[in-house]
Structure 1
Amino acid sequence: MLDALGWGAVAAASLLVGAVLALLRTWRAGLIGGVLAFGAGALISSVSFELAQEGLRLGGPLPVAIGIAVGALAFFFANRAVDRIGGRKGGGAGGLPLAVGALLDGIPEQAVLGIGLASGEGVSVALLVAIFVSNLPESIGSASDMRANGKGRGVVLGLWAAVAVVCALATLGGYALASVAGGQVRAGIDAFAAGALLVMLIDSMVPEAHDKAGNRAGLVTVIGFAVAAALSNLT
């Protein structure tokens, strides 16, 4: 169990690292857009190869379809709640949708990591690197937007530290569930993360990347997809 907590902390640490990097300097809008585009490509790869494909292998189409629908609805309604909060405060949500997306993706993703550890599958270095590749752009982009919208450094760091801790603890939850989690449960967890990610990508991450990086966003997204796909398929 200590191993699960340790690997979970390693995987989640990139969220806090990204927030720190965003606060250490002022990032140009084009650079933030490029980082977000690269991360979007990595997340599309994760949905394709780490989540949906693995879910289909483990549990078949029905758990995957249900999980994707539930994950999509979860992010949709959570994002609406964030927008309402921003509207009541008289300003934009300031990066919160990306934080919500990181949380809704990170919990099931790291739960799957814990299940794999408990099942004796070990930890793939390629998977850990892929998690870093996708987490950093989310936290960098979100933290930069929060600072631009007037959020204090302590608030930004506190939020991303909380997200990282919750995601790390989800690895322990997955480890504990391993004894009762069959293929269909694991497939549903994978699919939930995929559904939440897809809605977040289309509603928040991709549009923001294009707004900040312009036409370069599409090319950088493809590069991010290619890098993450290669990492995901390393043997």
Structure 2
Amino acid sequence: MPEWLLAGGWGLLAGSALVMGALVGYLMPIPARVVATVMAFGSGVLLSAVSFELIAEAHERGGLGPTVLGAVAGAALYAGANVLLAWRGARHRKRSAGQQPTEEQQPGSGTAIALGALLDGVPESIVIGTSLLGGGAVSLVTVVAVFISNVPEGLSSASGMRRAHRSRRYVFGLWGGIAVISGLAAVLGYTVLGGASAGVLAAITALAGGAILTMIADTMIPEAYEDAHVLTGLITVAGFLTAFALSQA
């Protein structure tokens, strides 16, 4: 199988977890405390992946300079885009309670939420594609970490969308589309960056890491803290150690 197609398959697999989570979150009345719990666990998983798979890999490839520059650039780009989308109604796109506005309350918020979901998913998928460069195997830890974290992301967001009276067509069309785009982003990560130098690859990997870390702080931790705040830290550590154990297996 061509490696670009393999990259797309892994990206699509990781993105499909968003659809799985959305199915559960939209079709079943999940208690807010359960949503917060799984979001805290997913946050820990992603934190581990960023630390040991992305930032560490970037440092090994290109050294401290490209790693720091890439991570700061990723954080700044994500934060800037997130602020713009928040103004358009996507600030609470991962919240499961009643924080998401309806289209009547804020026209255009549906489009902003869709763009926000795209913003959250693309950096993870690009990294999956770049992990195949150089003839290496895909980083299964990264794929598993993204998959595990995508389930609570889709679950929490779809729960909020249901409460905001968004239609099934909108919700499942959105997450199905993001899953497909995740596969395409992984293909782009493999093909477009195939001839890049070690320093550029390091910066791109760190950029994705910085964007994901900012996304965790801006959108995932707030939902986790909302209803499981007493145990949020403990659950997050459990997710972190789960992903770390996978990376050492």
Q: For 1:95 and 1:191, locate their aligned partners in 2 and report how far apart those are by CA, in whole Å.
A: 30
Q: For 1:95 and 1:155, locate their aligned partners in 2 and report how far apart those are by CA, in whole Å.
A: 9
Q: Return the match for 1:75 from 74, 78, 97.
A: 78
Q: Return the match for 1:192 from 193, 203, 207.
A: 207
Q: Specify the code of the residue in structure 1 equivalent to 2:163.
A: A
The offset of 1:150, in angstroms, is: 2.2
Q: For 2:235 and 2:110, locate their aligned partners in 1 and report how far apart those are by CA, in whole Å.
A: 21
Q: Return the match for 1:146 from 161, 173, 181.
A: 161
**5+ residue gaps, structure 1:** none
**RMSD between aligned residues:** 2.7
Q: For 1:97 and 1:28, locate their aligned partners in 2 and report how far apart those are by CA, in whole Å.
A: 26
Q: Deviations over 1:30-88 (max 9, x none)?
A: 00000110011111111111111111111111211121122112221222122211299
Q: Specify the code of the residue in structure 1 equivalent to 2:32.
A: A
Aligned to 2:128: 113
The offset of 1:127, in angstroms, is: 3.5
**SS state at 2:12 partner:** helix
Aligned to 1:183: 198
Aligned to 2:224: 209
Q: Return the match for 1:170 from 185, 199, 222.
A: 185
Conserved 8 A contact 2:85-2:116: no
Q: For 2:134 and 2:74, locate their aligned partners in 1 and report how far apart those are by CA, in whole Å.
A: 25
**SS state at 1:156 partner:** helix
Aligned to 1:29: 32
Conserved 8 A contact 2:124-2:146: no
Aligned to 1:43: 46
Q: Specify the code of the residue in structure 2 equivalent to 1:64.
A: T
Aligned to 2:138: 123
The offset of 1:105, in angstroms, is: 5.1
TM-score for both structures, normalised by structure 2: 0.83
Q: Deviations over 1:146-196 (max 9, x none)?
A: 222222222111221222122110111122135312211221121112211
Aligned to 1:54: 57
Q: For 2:185 and 2:48, locate their aligned partners in 1 and report how far apart those are by CA, in whole Å.
A: 22
Are residues 150 and 43 of structure 1, via their aligned partners in 2, closer, same or farther at CA, if it must alter by over 3 Å?
Answer: same
Q: Specify the code of the residue in structure 1 equivalent to 2:11.
A: G
Matched, 1:16 2:31: no
Aligned residues: 234
Match runs of 1:219-234 below 5 Å:
219-234=234-249
Conserved 8 A contact 2:58-2:201: yes
Q: Specify the code of the residue in structure 1 equivalent to 2:175.
A: W
Conserved 8 A contact 1:109-1:190: no
Identity of aligned residues (%): 42
Q: Return the match for 1:137 from 120, 135, 152.
A: 152
Q: For 1:97 and 1:210, locate their aligned partners in 2 and report how far apart those are by CA, in whole Å.
A: 24
Q: Larger helix proportion, structure 1 or 2?
A: 1
TM-score for both structures, normalised by structure 1: 0.87
**SS state at 1:90 partner:** coil
**SS state at 2:174 partner:** helix
Are residues 105 and 119 of structure 1, via their aligned partners in 2, closer, same or farther at CA, if it must alter by over 3 Å?
Answer: farther
Conserved 8 A contact 2:103-2:110: no
**SS state at 1:37 partner:** helix
